[in-house]
């Protein structure tokens, strides 16, 4: 009896606790402010913000949104239909006036097209299975619409389709999209499912099965930003359809229940009364159809649109309430909370409710309870501001992101570089998962296997990526060998420094190594110009250098925009540039020098203040650099200018591609008064707070408050600062002060306080490391017949250079360099600088090769010109040409392809013989836009492959007089084209290979 009474008492107590917790939870729910009312998802959908307006949840798998125009290409014909729709990378653009349909995957603000999977489109009347012409919507299923009848808010989107008088409403859970179509009275109310549709991809395999009122299937496609992927789905209607059919290769087959192929579409027809809603819920999975079914059953088992919409808004308000702002104009409030909304879309949960997920090795795994798998890491953009922001407002998710990186290391060799839809895309330079880990580690976020993360960082830092082998040999990438030689060197150097952040606690040798590599940026600094300048493999500076000229040496930028990217060592950069005053003047010139658009021709470089380009990420830290020379007031003025002129609450209110949240993260951090100049350091650099009061509601239950007294548009300057009631002179803010819950108070004014933050001890700082400078090793000939003359130099006149010729690592007992010497055999020369009492330099490695002269081919009956095979099709590399049929054959006089006058995608396989006029070593130069490879006597001599802007690379070969086989494979992805093949004998004049020496 006592046991029974005890159990009843315990049960009552348990019920009481449940009620109490329910009340407390309910109160907390009521305390949430409706910041979603200040969010306008239309911001960024115009100009080139590349955002989408549709329904999604914070970091959700589904992004259910309209597509107004998409890029696509036809594998069979090779025709590219994406030219001119760069604005539609998200599938939607505000300038468009027609809608094709509503799809379940989108990318927010990326610079490449992708997603737009599983498209449904409600129509009325005649069945059509092609989208049709934007100028005449009667030619297909697309419909006109007006922005007057369109509305978007977090987790909800609505639009009226004018051609059909159908009101479309969309909402979502994490993994399920919910559609509501309000039809007119009709016996021909249709819903079209177009599985072919995607954004810049093409189907590999499509499948649909129709069972009762449920659709099952998948869409496997490749070619977009996210690469090859499969989206599995299950869809259900809220009422039975009257009839259905499947169009296989555009031939309608009524009542067909199963179909598989590369061109699969279907229709579902209803009889509807006036204003009758038909609901459609669509669950997706990247694992299996069964996974999609489980996702739907778990997340959306009911047919309540309003409830789902309300829950979506609550989810957003929970995320948006992490930061409270006070005062500010209505426009600023909308801009801020829309920025916070955009910064909470990516990365995305990438696993089913049963915790199964598909990894980058295309295998399916089941996550343990402590791991959530994510994807869509646009890391070249987001390591700068988005991820540092998450270390404040989403520390738990930050750990999950790093756990995801470790998972990639375990199953796919490397942590991510640029990953979309679970696929590594290598679409930008650098390896920027490293700063995400370093930043978290430096700030004490370590809820993951730290030792394994450290191993994974080292693995990625030594991975084989473009230019890396030269970077590790020379300490920079010579511009003759790879494109983006300057920007890649600088970003690789920063990423390597990030390894040292962890190595300090793990391994002294690694700490030295990665700090040495963290100083490689110095190898491209030219003191004559005070810029980072391309350098050759003979240590010669690039001729005709122009810092305003955008070129293939810098990624989406020019020298102004990249030369301060030594964010791991800004103090040394200032010294190199001549000290505080010289550096400050350099910045002044950069912000005041007017852009010459004849020299800056890159679409991504927007949001300009002089040479500063806020619309693209390489500039994002630059306005904060005045703090490092004690002129914080200049940072304050510039930051406030950027906040108030380069962002707005209009549809074109983002001054560049949103880039998966980075543009918005810059705004959020800067509006709060600080920014992450150096991820991997445990502080933020102070700017100029935009709002009178900001409160960050931290996950640990504490609050960090920023107060700006006397703040206004006319008062951007800091007069004084206090932290927790005590005077604060530093122009940076420690992470721990934020996370411990503090109050920082700014007194603002309309005139600069020249003294605040001026003293050296009050400025942001770098972690000092005295790296001994690498020796320079030059040669008379990289490829030689008799010998090559080797010279070595070092900036430190008291240092010794020790070297080896057999590829072994030099040590203090190795041969000492005393003067130039000859090598007459192929050699791998390694040299290192030694200074007493200091860690030796990083090793310089140079390879020289002895060669003979290849015998000519014994051929006869040759005719002038080069034989060609002409093909059309989109390629990522020259090998892809073989996928496409030969459309034409013939003979060209030279390698010139200017006869192609339009912007089609095409490629040539060019073969023949070159008549070498005399014995010698010949250097072959290959200019190409996009990719090309050059073979002589079946040996690859120049590899200028891959999709890229016009760029020249070279290779060498010893040839005897006579005929030698030559082959060039070349492809062009549309728009500009360029193919030039030149040669040079020994050190003679470089000339384009003339028609008189080419035969077939």
- Summarize pLDDT for 343-372 with one digit per residue, the tens: 999 999 999 999 999 999 999 999 999 999
Ranges of beta strands (E only) in 851-919 are 866-871, 888-892, 906-916
Q: What is the DSSP letter of 421?
A: T
Q: What gap in Å lies between CA 173 and CA 87, rounded to an integer?
A: 28
Q: Which residue has the higher pLDDT, 680 or 798?
A: 680
Q: Both tokens of residue 561? A: 């925009």
For the whole prediction, is pTM greater than 0.75? yes
Pairing of β 703-709 and β 743-749: parallel
Q: What gap in Å lies between CA 441 and CA 372, rounded to an integer?
A: 19
Of 161-165, 769-773, 828-832, which gets the smallest average pLDDT? 769-773
Q: What angle do CA 471, 474, 567 make, to 5 degrees?
A: 55
Q: What is the DSSP letter of 279?
A: E
Q: What is the pLDDT of residue 975?
A: 66
With residue 182 as reference, give the H or E element that holds it: strand 176-183
Q: What is the pLDDT of residue 30?
A: 55
Q: What is the pLDDT of residue 31?
A: 84
Collapsing DSSP to helix, strand or coil, 221 comes out as strand
29-41: burial string, b at 16+ Cβ within 10 Å, e else: eeeeeebbebbbb
Q: What is the pLDDT of residue 20?
A: 42
Q: What is the pLDDT of residue 929?
A: 87
With residue 927 as reference, give the H or E element that holds it: strand 920-929
Question: What distances in angstroms separate CA 432 from CA 436, 679, 936, one per listed residue?
Answer: 7, 10, 38
Q: What is the pLDDT of residue 362?
A: 95
Task: Kindly report, residue by residue over 420-442, the tens digit of the pLDDT.
Answer: 999 999 989 999 999 999 999 99
* Across 266-276, average pLDDT: 98
Cβ atoms of 246 and 253 closer than 8 Å: yes
Q: What gap in Å lies between CA 698 and CA 339, rounded to an integer?
A: 18
Q: What is the dihedral of CA 893, 896, 898, 903, to 10 degrees?
A: 130
With residue 674 as reference, give the H or E element that holds it: strand 674-675
Task: Kindly report, residue by residue over 962-990, the tens digit of the pLDDT.
Answer: 999 999 999 998 767 889 999 999 878 99
Q: What gap in Å lies between CA 581 and CA 683, rounded to an integer?
A: 24
Q: What gap in Å lies between CA 763 and CA 774, rounded to an integer?
A: 30
Pairing of β 229-237 and β 214-222: antiparallel
DSSP string covering 33-69: --GGGG--TTTTSSTT-----SEE-TT-S-EEEEES-
Q: What is the pLDDT of residue 72?
A: 62
Reported as half-sphere exposure (CB side, CA atoms, 13 A), residue 144 has a value of: 9
Of 10-24, 329-343, 610-624, 839-853, which gets the smallest average pLDDT? 10-24
**pLDDT over 80 at 79, yes or no:** no
Alpha helices for 721-876 (secondary structure H): 735-739
Tell me what percent of the residues of the chain surpass a pLDDT of 90.
Answer: 88
Q: What is the pLDDT of residue 84?
A: 56
Q: What is the pLDDT of residue 898?
A: 79
Q: What is the pLDDT of residue 78?
A: 42
Chain centre distance of CA 564: 20
Instruction: Give me the count of residues in the chain.
Output: 1000
Task: Kindly report, residue by residue over 289-326, the tens digit of the pLDDT.
Answer: 999 999 999 999 999 999 999 999 999 999 999 999 99
Cβ atoms of 229 and 115 closer than 8 Å: no
Q: What gap in Å lies between CA 601 and CA 596, rounded to an integer?
A: 9
Q: What is the DSSP letter of 855?
A: P
Tell me what percent of the residues of the chain surpass a pLDDT of 70.
Answer: 95
Identify the band that residue 902 occupies on the pLDDT scale cut at 50, 70 and 90.
Answer: low
Collapsing DSSP to helix, strand or coil, 3 comes out as helix
Which of 757, 762, 684 is CA-nearest to residue 717? 757
What is the radius of gyration, based on Cα positions, of the chain?
31
Q: If DSSP states are collapsed to H, E and C, what string results for 377-412?
A: ECHHHHCCCHHHHHHHHCHHHHHHHHHHHHHHHHHH
Cβ atoms of 823 and 805 closer than 8 Å: yes
**pLDDT over 80 at 899, yes or no:** no
**pLDDT over 90 at 416, yes or no:** yes
Q: What is the pLDDT of residue 481?
A: 87
* Across 662-669, average pLDDT: 98
Edge-to-edge strand order for the sheet containing 683-686? 674-675, 683-686, 732-734
Identify the band that residue 9 occupies on the pLDDT scale cut at 50, 70 and 90.
Answer: very low
Positive/negative CA dihedral, 444, 448, 454, 457: negative
Positive/negative CA dihedral, 493, 494, 495, 500: positive
With residue 15 as reference, give the H or E element that holds it: helix 2-31
Per the prediction, the chain carries an average pLDDT of 94
Cβ atoms of 98 and 114 closer than 8 Å: no
Q: What is the pLDDT of residue 53?
A: 98
Q: What is the pLDDT of residue 969?
A: 97
**pLDDT over 50 at 534, yes or no:** yes
- The answer, yes or no, to whether the previous bond of 598 is cis (omega within 30 of 0) is no
Q: Which residue has the higher pLDDT, 481 or 352?
A: 352
Phi, psi (rounded to 5 degrees) for 674: -160, 170
Identify the band that residue 10 occupies on the pLDDT scale cut at 50, 70 and 90.
Answer: very low
Task: Kindly report, residue by residue over 776-786, the tens digit of the pLDDT.
Answer: 999 999 999 99
Identify the band that residue 876 occupies on the pLDDT scale cut at 50, 70 and 90.
Answer: confident
Per the DSSP assignment, residues forming a β-bridge with 844 are: 831
Q: What is the pLDDT of residue 1?
A: 40
**pLDDT over 90 at 527, yes or no:** yes
Q: Both tokens of residue 543? A: 């001729």
Of 1-15, 181-195, 536-550, 733-747, which gets the smallest average pLDDT? 1-15
Phi, psi (rounded to 5 degrees) for 19: -65, -45
- The answer, yes or no, to whether the previous bond of 608 is cis (omega within 30 of 0) is no
Q: What is the pLDDT of residue 22?
A: 42
Pairing of β 186-194 and β 176-183: unpaired
Q: What gap in Å lies between CA 60 and CA 170, rounded to an integer?
A: 15
Q: What gap in Å lies between CA 360 and CA 348, rounded to an integer?
A: 15
Q: What gap in Å lies between CA 557 and CA 616, rounded to an integer?
A: 8
Q: Both tokens of residue 488? A: 């890649």
Q: What gap in Å lies between CA 689 and CA 745, rounded to an integer?
A: 10
Tokens 């951007």 found at: 716
């Amino acid at each position: 009896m006592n046991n029974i009474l005890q159990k009843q008492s315990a049960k009552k107590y348990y019920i009481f606790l449940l009620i109490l917790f329910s009340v407390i939870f309910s109160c907390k729910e009521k305390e949430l402010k409706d910041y979603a009312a200040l969010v306008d998802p239309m911001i960024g959908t115009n100009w080139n913000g590349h955002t989408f307006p549709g329904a999604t949840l914070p970091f959700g798998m589904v992004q259910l949104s309209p597509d107004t125009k998409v890029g696509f290409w036809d594998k069979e014909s090779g025709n590219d239909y994406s030219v001119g729709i760069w604005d539609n990378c998200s599938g939607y653009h505000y300038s468009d006036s027609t809608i094709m349909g509503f799809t379940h995957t989108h990318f927010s603000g990326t610079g490449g097209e992708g997603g737009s999977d599983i498209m449904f489109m409600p129509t009325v009347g005649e069945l059509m299975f092609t989208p049709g012409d934007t100028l005449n919507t009667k030619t297909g299923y697309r419909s006109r619409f007006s922005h007057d009848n369109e509305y978007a808010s977090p987790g909800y989107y609505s639009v009226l389709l004018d051609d059909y008088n159908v009101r479309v409403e969309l909402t979502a859970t994490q993994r399920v999209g919910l559609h509501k179509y309000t039809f007119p009275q009709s016996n021909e109310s249709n819903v079209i499912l177009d599985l072919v549709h995607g954004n810049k991809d093409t189907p590999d395999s499509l499948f649909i099965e129709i069972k009762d009122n449920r659709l099952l299937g998948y869409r496997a496609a490749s070619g977009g930003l996210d690469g090859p992927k499969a989206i599995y789905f299950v869809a259900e209607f809220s009422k039975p359809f009257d009839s259905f059919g499947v169009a296989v290769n555009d031939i309608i087959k009524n009542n067909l229940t199963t179909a598989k192929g590369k061109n699969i579409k279907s229709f579902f027809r209803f009889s509807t009364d006036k204003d009758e809603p038909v609901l459609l819920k669509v669950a997706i999975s990247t694992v299996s159809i069964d996974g999609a079914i489980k996702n739907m059953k778990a997340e959306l088992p009911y047919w309540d649109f309003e409830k789902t919409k309300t829950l979506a808004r609550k989810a957003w308000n929970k995320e948006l309430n992490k930061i409270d702002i006070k005062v500010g104009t209505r426009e600023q409030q909308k801009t801020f909370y829309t920025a916070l909304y955009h910064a909470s879309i990516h990365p995305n949960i990438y696993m089913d409710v049963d915790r199964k997920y598909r990894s980058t090795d295309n295998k399916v795994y089941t996550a343990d309870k402590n791991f959530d798998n994510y994807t869509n890491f646009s890391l070249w953009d987001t390591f700068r501001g988005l991820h540092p922001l998450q270390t404040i407002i989403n520390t738990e998710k930050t750990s999950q992101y790093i756990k995801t990186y470790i998972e990639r290391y375990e199953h796919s060799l490397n942590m991510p570089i640029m990953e979309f839809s679970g696929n590594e895309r290598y679409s930008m330079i650098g390896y920027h998962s490293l700063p995400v880990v370093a930043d978290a580690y430096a700030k004490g976020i370590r809820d993951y296997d730290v030792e394994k993360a450290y191993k994974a960082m080292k693995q990625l830092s030594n991975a084989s990526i473009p230019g890396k082998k030269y970077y590790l040999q020379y300490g920079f990438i010579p511009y003759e060998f790879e494109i983006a030689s300057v920007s890649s060197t600088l970003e690789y150097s920063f990423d390597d420094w990030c390894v040292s952040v962890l190595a300090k606690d793990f391994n002294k040798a690694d700490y030295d190594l990665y700090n040495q590599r963290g100083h490689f940026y110095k190898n491209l600094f030219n003191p004559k110009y005070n810029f980072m300048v391309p350098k050759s493999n003979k240590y010669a500076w690039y001729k005709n250098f122009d810092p305003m000229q955008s070129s293939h040496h810098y990624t989406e930028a020019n020298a102004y925009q990249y030369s301060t990217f030594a964010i791991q060592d800004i103090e040394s950069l200032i010294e190199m540039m001549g000290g505080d005053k010289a550096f400050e003047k350099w910045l002044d010139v950069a912000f005041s020098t007017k852009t010459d658009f004849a020299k800056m021709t890159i679409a991504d470089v927007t949001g300009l203040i002089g040479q500063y380009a806020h619309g693209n990420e390489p500039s994002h830290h630059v306005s904060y650099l005045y703090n490092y020379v004690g002129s914080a007031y200049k940072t304050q003025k510039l930051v406030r200018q950027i906040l108030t002129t380069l962002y707005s609450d209009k549809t074109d209110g983002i001054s560049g591609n949103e880039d998966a949240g980075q543009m918005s993260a810059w705004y959020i951090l800067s509006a709060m008064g600080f920014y992450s100049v150096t991820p991997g350091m445990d502080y933020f650099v102070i700017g100029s707070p935009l709002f009178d009061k900001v409160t960050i509601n931290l996950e640990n239950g504490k609050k960090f408050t920023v107060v700006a007294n006397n703040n206004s548009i006319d008062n951007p300057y800091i007069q004084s600062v206090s932290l927790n009631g005590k005077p604060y002179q530093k122009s940076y803010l420690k992470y721990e002060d934020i996370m411990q819950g503090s109050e920082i108070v700014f007194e603002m004014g309309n005139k600069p306080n020249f003294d605040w933050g001026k003293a050296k001890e009050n400025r942001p700082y770098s972690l000092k490391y005295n790296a001994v400078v690498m020796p320079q090793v030059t040669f008379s000939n990289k490829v030689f017949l008799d010998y090559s003359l080797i010279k070595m130099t070092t900036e430190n006149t008291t240092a010794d250079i020790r070297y080896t010729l057999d590829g072994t690592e030099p040590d203090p007992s190795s041969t000492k360099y005393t003067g130039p010497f000859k090598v007459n055999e192929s050699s791998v020369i390694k040299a290192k600088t030694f200074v007493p009492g200091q860690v030796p330099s990083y090793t310089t490695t140079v390879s020289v090769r002895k060669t003979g002269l290849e015998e000519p081919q014994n051929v006869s009956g040759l005719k002038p010109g080069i034989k060609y095979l002409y093909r059309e099709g989109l390629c990522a590399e020259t090998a892809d040409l073989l996928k496409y049929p030969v459309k034409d054959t013939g003979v060209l006089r030279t390698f010139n392809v200017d006869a192609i006058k339009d912007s089609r995608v095409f490629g040539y396989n060019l073969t023949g013989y070159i008549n070498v006029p005399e014995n010698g070593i010949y250097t072959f130069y290959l200019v190409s836009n996009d990719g090309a490879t050059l073979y002589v006597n079946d040996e690859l001599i120049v590899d200028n492959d891959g999709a890229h802007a016009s760029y020249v690379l070279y290779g060498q070969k010893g040839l005897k007089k006579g005929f030698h086989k030559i082959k060039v494979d070349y492809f062009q992805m549309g728009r500009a084209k360029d193919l030039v093949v030149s040669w040079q004998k020994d050190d003679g004049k470089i000339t384009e290979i003339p028609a008189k020496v080419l035969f077939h």
